[in-house]
Amino acid sequence: MTIEANDYLNRVFGEGALRVSARKHLKGYIGEYDWKNKVDPLQPTPIENGGQQLLITEYHAMGHFRGMKMLPGYRMVEFMALLSRYGISEMRNVKFHRIVVPGDTLTARETNGRTDILRDGKEIAEAEALFSETGIKPHEFGMILELAAQTIGADISQTLPEVSPVSHPLLQSCRRIWSSSIGDSDSLSVHITALAENEQRRQRYMASAVIVNQQGVEVAVVEDLSLLLTSPDLFPTLAAMGRN
């Protein structure tokens, strides 16, 4: 049985999540978001060798998810982007290796264009980042990923009958995230351009999306975003596995 996209978003995301709405379109669902409702930026502590450190709190995990608190993937992207003194315009080959929960202390570092997040010496996430004086702010860049992920998850939930109403989309990887200038008062729409199931791994999906402003101008793209749909019952197991 399929469910409405907005109903799915309300069931999955708790208080404090980015409030994306979804409306049906000829080519699927379109996610909509008012950019003026931005979340507060992360405030990590600078450490030696140009890195930074952050203690994850319940506040950082707000909205992800009902059933278990964990740090959203878009916050990890923001944390890596904060290594820039300027702004950021692009990340490539983004990979999320482990779940992060409140109480974890993370370290971010950048070496020759490669950014990494570590916990107790183990890699949590990685990416190749393009920092730029003309790029957007790190927390805005991370939110681009979240807008796409929520819209794709909502589209999957109403398209595929076998998807549970409480299946949660965990980010696995993303080939490319790009964004140009976004105005503080912009209203954004997320258009899914491709969606496919990975036949070799059940409940894994790959999708791409284009984000436009109210004038119809393309301001961001998310290419080949890989999602794993899972249940809150499995979160403790996944978190424990991620520490090995």
pTM score, whole prediction: 0.93
pLDDT tens per residue, range 174-220: 999 999 888 888 899 999 998 887 755 567 899 999 999 999 999 99
Tell me the torsion sign for CA atoms 182, 170, 82, 105: positive
pLDDT tens per residue, range 215-232: 999 999 999 999 988 877
Amino acid at 30: I
pLDDT tens per residue, range 112-145: 889 999 999 999 999 999 998 888 999 999 999 9
pLDDT at 95: 97
3-state secondary structure the chain: CCCCHHHHHHHHCCCCCCCCEEEEECCEEEEEEEHHHCCCCCCCEECHHHCEEEECCCCCCCCCCCCCCCCCHHHHHHHHHCCCCCEEEEEEEEEECCCCCCCCEEEEEEECCEEEEEECCEEEEEEEEEEECCCECHHHHHHHHHHHHHHHHHHHHHHCCCCCCCCEEEEEEEEEEEECCCCCCCEEEEEEEEEEECCCCCCEEEEEEEEECCCCCEEEEEEEEEEEEECHHHHHHHHHHCCC
Asked whether the predicted pLDDT for residue 111 surpasses 90, the reply is no
- Distant-in-sequence, close-in-space partners of 84: CB < 8 Å, separation ≥ 6: 129, 131, 135, 138
**Token reading at 11:** 């069931």
pLDDT at 218: 95
**Token reading at 28:** 């699927």
| Topology of the domain comprising 5-241 | Thiol Ester Dehydrase; Chain A (3.10.129)
Q: Which of 97, 96, 101, 117 is nearest to 44 (CA)?
A: 117
Domain spans, the chain: 5-241
Query: Residues 73, 145: contact at Cβ < 8 Å?
Result: yes
